[in-house]
Chain A
Amino acid sequence: MPALVGFLWLISYWLIGEVVVHFTGLPVSSGVVGMLLLSITLALHGRVPGSIAAAAQPLIALLAMLIMPGVVGVFFILDELAGQWPAILCALVVGTLLSVTTTLWLLKRLMESQHAR
């Protein structure tokens, strides 16, 4: 039963997010607003209630399954984007190589300058 209580909390935060997004017109998804509100609530509360953990942990563990119906879709647009794939793959692979290197180098420099103080 605690998991059900936690699940109701998660749904409520998502619904609050939906209302906030509707009235503010923020270009953010309801899930992200709900996530931020949940972490703020937890920070104010100072700990994670058992009911939230009981609902959140299994849901997070199932995330990969929840996105599967979407992932399968990529195999059905292979033809639609024929001719675009070399550019897409190049952008992803080279872009990732560049951004990984930038992140490593930048954080190393920043941490060194922190220690130097």
Chain B
Amino acid sequence: MPASSPLDILSATPLFAVGLTLAAFLLGNLAFKRLKKPTWLPAILMAALLLAATLAVIGLPYERYREDARWLTILLGPATVALGMPLYQQLPHIRVLWRPITICLPIAASLAACYAVMIAWLLGSPPLILASLAAKSVTAPIAIGITEQIGGSVALLLGALLVTGVATAAFTGIAARLLKIEDERIIGFALGLNGHAIGTVRAFEIGPTAGAFASLGMSLTGIFTALLLPLAWRLIGVGG
């Protein structure tokens, strides 16, 4: 009988997967700071690349890793509930602009999902992909719940979130200049509504007002989409 390899000994406990995740996350953040925080390469993408490379090199199957990392991901539940706190803190901003926001939000949040799903559908993507892209503008913890509800792939969704966030951070400044918009509240709201957490980080770089409106846009889009998208999906019957 061959002696068990170091990998077998280490991966016998879920703490190995947890440790790998923490290490990759911290290193990704360190690299992000060293590179002077590039918008096009978010810290989480660097950390994920590092972690994927590590898993491939040491030969730990992804399924096995994900199973053990459940010790961490179980915290997503209470972390999603925790988002209720910043949501409550955004309420004063809603009071100031409740009229434009209550009209803009449902239209813009629906279009954020519809544009991408329509384009993918026109290009012939199968239902699984459509379901994975629909929540692309929603903040990750909420988007994961939505995607599980409508039967998409969570891995693809999370990839879509990264691309969407980076694209939003890149386009919003340019589009605002073309439309001659200087109001930080509008730019911030658009960043949060379309680009979830990545857009919100970009908004805080512009200024605290933009950041506050981005948080507001992100929270409201998350709730609106979570409440209506699974229902709409069922009605339209996209999934078959």
Query: Hey, which bits of chain A sit against chain B, CB under 8 A?
Result: 7, 10-11, 13-14, 17, 27-32, 34-39, 42-43, 48, 52-53, 55-57, 59-60, 62-77, 81, 84, 86-108, 110-111, 114
Q: Which B residues touch A10, using CB under 8 A?
A: 78-79, 81-82
Whether A14 contacts B77 by the Cβ 8 Å rule is: yes
Given A28-B230, A48-B88, A95-B118, 14 additional A-B pairs, CB 8 A? A10-B82, A27-B230, A32-B227, A35-B83, A39-B87, A66-B79, A68-B48, A70-B158, A75-B49, A93-B167, A104-B186, A108-B181, A108-B183, A110-B99
Give the CA-CA distance A31 to B195 in the complex, in Å. 21
Question: Contacts A96-B164, A100-B171, A100-B190 given: A59-B79 contact, CB under 8 Å?
Answer: yes
Task: State the total of A-B contacts with C-beta under 8 angstroms.
Answer: 305
Give the CA-CA distance A91 to B190 in the complex, in Å. 19
How many positions in chain B have a CB within 8 Å of any CB in the partner chain? 103
Q: Which B residues touch A32, using CB under 8 A?
A: 80, 142, 145, 222-223, 226-227
Q: Shortest Cβ distance from A54 into chain B, in angstroms?
A: 11
Whether A89 contacts B82 by the Cβ 8 Å rule is: no
Give the CA-CA distance A30 to B140 in the complex, in Å. 15
Grouping DSSP codes into helix (H, G, I), strand (E, B) and loop, the B interface class, with mixed when no group exceeds half, is helix
Whether B72 contacts A69 by the Cβ 8 Å rule is: yes
Which one of B3-11, B33-41, B62-70, B203-211 is at the interface?
B62-70
Q: Shortest Cβ distance from B8 into chain A, in angstroms?
A: 21
Q: Which B residues touch A75, using CB under 8 A?
A: 48-49, 52
List 8 tightest A-B contacts by C-beta distance, closest first.
A29-B145, A31-B80, A38-B84, A73-B155, A95-B116, A27-B230, A74-B159, A110-B100
Give the CA-CA distance A52 to B85 in the complex, in Å. 8
Chain B, 44-66, contact with A by CB distance < 8 Å: what is the 0/1 string?
11011101100100000010011
Q: Tell me if B86 counts as interface (CB < 8 A to partner A).
A: yes
Listed residue (A30, A43, A87) with the most chain B CB atoms within 10 angstroms of its CB:
A87
Whether B119 contacts A95 by the Cβ 8 Å rule is: yes
